[in-house]
Amino acid sequence: MPKDLSENANWILSHLSTADARLLQPRLARVDLPLRKPLEASGRPIEHVYFPESGIVSVVANGGDKRSIEVGLIGREGMTGLAVVMGTDRSSHHSYVQCAGSALRMTANHLREAMQESPPLHQRFLLYGHAFLMQTGYTAVANGRSKIEERLARWILMAHDRIDGDALALTHEFLATMLGVRRPGVTVALNLLEGAGVIRAARGIITIVDRKGLEKLSNGAYGVPEAEFKRLFG
């Protein structure tokens, strides 16, 4: 369906060998990613894997009652369905669309066939899997060691990396769920960041004004896995 993968907005798809591109292209279909659409459900077989062209997907670990919390973000730099890449059909994480956009997708079975046919392709997906594992590890660090405003700064920066422009459409409630904190806690932290002049906040919209400043305010919570990603993918 999609024309030329080498010019696709998704970073994994855009740097494939011509052979691998030919392998995937006929199996890929472009779909919308409407807000809150679930892409994977904990414990259920994964039907499709998605390569976002725009928008952001949240990966959430379901810790029972009200204990779920985000463990990773996926945008146009990556793909969903890592469990399939790792050789199983499901994971104990949920994935759903956090910021609307679009993606190319294929069935999990087609992905399995393609990986079997092309080890270099599998290798490329695995390399992204490594990057995602690093991201998850540093989410654990941030959750254990950083204050709300620092974690918020980290989240906003990670989201900023994955969108066009500087505006994020998000409510405090949503962010509170992602970070696993109280909603008023997010309100206060956002006001603090706005007071520092690094973002502007309107109803339902956060605008990044000063990226460097945000990084400073994240106090080290942002950066390590991003550097690792750059090392791996250039």
Which residues of the chain form contacts with DNA (CB under 7 A)? Answer: 146-149, 171-173, 180-185, 187-188, 190-191, 201-204
Q: Is position 227 an interface residue for a copy of itself (rule: CB under 8 A)?
A: yes
Residue 133 near which of DNA, a copy of itself, none (CB within 5-8 Å, type-dependent): a copy of itself
Residue count, binding to a copy of itself (CB under 8 A): 49
- Contact in structure between 178 and 70 (CB atoms under 8 Å): yes
Torsion of CA 85, 101, 142, 90, to 10 degrees: -30
- Shortest spacing between CB 92 and DNA, in angstroms: 23
Q: Which stretch binds a copy of itself (CB under 8 A): 105-113, 154-162, 184-192, 217-225?
A: 217-225
Q: Which stretch binds a copy of itself (CB under 8 A): 44-52, 79-87, 97-105, 202-210?
A: 79-87
Q: List the one residue out of 35, 40, 34, 80 whose CA is nearest residue 170.
A: 35
**Which of the 8 DSSP states describes residue 135?**
H
User: Which region, left, alpha or beta, applies to residue 224 given φ > 0 means left and ψ of -120 to 50 means alpha?
Assistant: alpha
- Bridge partners, residue 229, by sequence: none
- Contact in structure between 48 and 108 (CB atoms under 8 Å): yes
Residue 169 near which of DNA, a copy of itself, none (CB within 5-8 Å, type-dependent): none
Distance between CA atoms of residues 70 and 205, nearest Å: 20
Query: Considering only residues 14, 107, 136, 207, which one is a binding residue for a copy of itself as defined by CB under 8 A?
Result: 136
**Buried b / exposed e along 178-207 (16+ C-beta atoms within 10 A):** bbbbeeebbeebbebbeebebbebeeeebe
Distance between CA atoms of residues 119 and 89, nearest Å: 19
Query: Considering only residues 23, 57, 103, 179, which one is a binding residue for a copy of itself as defined by CB under 8 A?
Result: 179
Residues 115-134 that bind a copy of itself (CB under 8 A): 119, 123, 126-127, 129-130, 132-134
- Shortest spacing between CB 195 and a copy of itself, in angstroms: 24
Q: Which residues are at the interface with a copy of itself (CB under 8 A)? A: 59, 61-65, 67-69, 71-72, 82-83, 85-88, 91-93, 119, 123, 126-127, 129-130, 132-134, 136-146, 179-180, 220-221, 224-225, 227-228, 232
